[in-house]
Amino acid sequence: MRIVDLRSDTVTLPSPAMRKAMAEAELGDDVFGEDPTVNRLQERSAERMGTEAALFVPSGTMANLVSVLTHCRRGEEVILGNQAHMFRYEAGSMAAVGSIHPHTIPNQPDGTLALSDIRSAVRPGDVHFPRTRLILLENTHNRCGGAVLSVEYTASVVQLAREKELCIHLDGARIFNAAVSLGVDVKDLMRGIDSVCFCLSKGLAAPVGSVICGSRDFIAEARRNRKVVGGGMRQAGILAAAGLVAMEEMVDRLAEDHANARKLAEGLGNITGLVVEARPATNMVYLRLNMQRFPATELVGRMKDRGILFLTVGENRFRLVTHYGITDADIDYTLTQFFDCMRE
């Protein structure tokens, strides 16, 4: 059966160029800082983000945890959105591992945090309260529809953080999708941000890995924290090699994924019984079922029987993600299968 896997851009497989680069990668022991390919990836990442230094880690989850551990001490507090990936999907890592307190405020539907909400969440200096240390933003915002935070919005949070003497960490798992969607240099989304992590293993299609970028001192301390959580990887250049190809060859093509997502959203929106949440800005389509013939809980299973895979992400809420390997023809096929399923 033909399978169209729209569960996530994490399912992407490495390109032939990545496999070749992996096979030929020059390697060393990265815990000694001696893997030339990892070092090259870190240099390229820092350059690309406009930071002094960078650190290769195995996953986005570890990248966020190591970054928060580096910014905060026990009992300190992070202000973040109630829809943030780090709050919802990272097993409570900041509390579980770091004894760091997550202070959630509502995410607006466009993925932003209202400046007034951030302002009132910052704690006054009083022994009763945890110390606020960090603001966490997410760009693109996964649960808010793959929404893009603009350069202007980011700058306004940076300004507020400076005023309140706080740091900002950006979960930029899909920051390149944001830059491509806005048509800006990724550095523009980083101005004044203290640390960012981005993923090589999502839309950029590398098999494994994320990168944390920040100041030289921050990255030196993050390297210690990566060790604490067991993220030192030895001959990791074999993975970094794919990451270098990902950064070189896979960024511009994200526009194709965005076009496919728009086409998918438009097509689904024309099928009676389906409601698309918003026109996608990047590679995610969020969907609800609005009909009585079968319960929403059956949609994923019924479509799986037709070879179309996607995820349930809430009560009657579904996510479909376009990515490398999904073609225009796959979108047509998906739409036909949805159309038939809804008439069954």
Give the CA angle between residues 78, 81, 84 to the nearest 5°: 100
User: Count of residues binding ligand TLP (CB under 6 A)?
Assistant: 15
**Residue 179, CA distances (Å) to 108, 149, 185, 257, 260 in order:** 20, 10, 6, 14, 17
Q: Which residue number has the CB closest to ligand TLP?
A: 60
Cβ count near 269 (within 10 Å): 14
State in angstroms the smallest separation of the CB of 10 from ligand TLP: 5
Tell me which residues in 193-212 interact with ligand TLP (CB under 6 A).
199, 201, 210
By CB under 6 A, which span of 58-66, 185-193, 218-226, 244-252 interacts with ligand TLP? 58-66
Chosen residue from 89, 187, 298, 314 binding ligand TLP by CB under 6 A: 89
Quote the CA–CA distance of 72 and 125 in Å, as a whole number.
16
Of 14 and 60, nearer to ligand TLP (C-beta) is 60
Query: If you write DSSP's letter for every residue of 182-206 in order, what string do you get?
Result: HTS-GGGGTTT-SEEEEESSSTT--
Measured from the CB atom, the residue of 122 and 320 that comes closer to ligand TLP is: 320
- Are residues 219 and 71 in contact, defined by beta-carbon separation less than 8 angstroms? no
> Which residues 123-152 are close enough to bind ligand TLP by CB under 6 A?
138, 142
Is the separation of the CB atoms in 101 and 121 below 8 Å? no
Q: Contact between 10 and ligand TLP (CB under 6 A)?
A: yes
Three-state DSSP string of 107-168: ECCCCCECHHHHHHHCCCCCCCCCCEEEEEEECCECCCCCECCCHHHHHHHHHHHHHHCCEE
Closest to ligand TLP by CB, 54 or 342: 54
The region of 27-35, 60-68, 97-105, 272-280 touching ligand TLP under the rule CB under 6 A is 60-68
- For ligand TLP, the closer CB: 122 or 209: 209
Q: Is 226 in the site for ligand TLP (CB under 6 A)?
A: no
- Distance separating alpha carbons of residues 305 and 110, to the nearest angstrom: 33
**Which segment (23-31, 57-65, 71-79, 97-105) binds ligand TLP by CB under 6 A?**
57-65
Residues 6 or more apart whose CB falls under 8 angstroms from that of 2 comprise 307, 333
Select from 15, 37, 45, 59 the one that contacts ligand TLP (CB under 6 A): 59
Does the footprint of ligand TLP cover residue 322 (CB under 6 A)? Answer: no
Does 85 bind ligand TLP (CB under 6 A)? Our answer is yes
Instruction: Kindly tell me which of 204 and 274 has the beta carbon lying closer to ligand TLP.
Output: 204
Please give the structure tokens belonging to residue 173: 């798992």
**CB of 206 closer than 8 Å to CB of 246:** yes
Site residues (CB under 6 A) for ligand TLP? 8, 10, 59-61, 64, 85, 89, 138, 142, 171, 173, 199, 201, 210
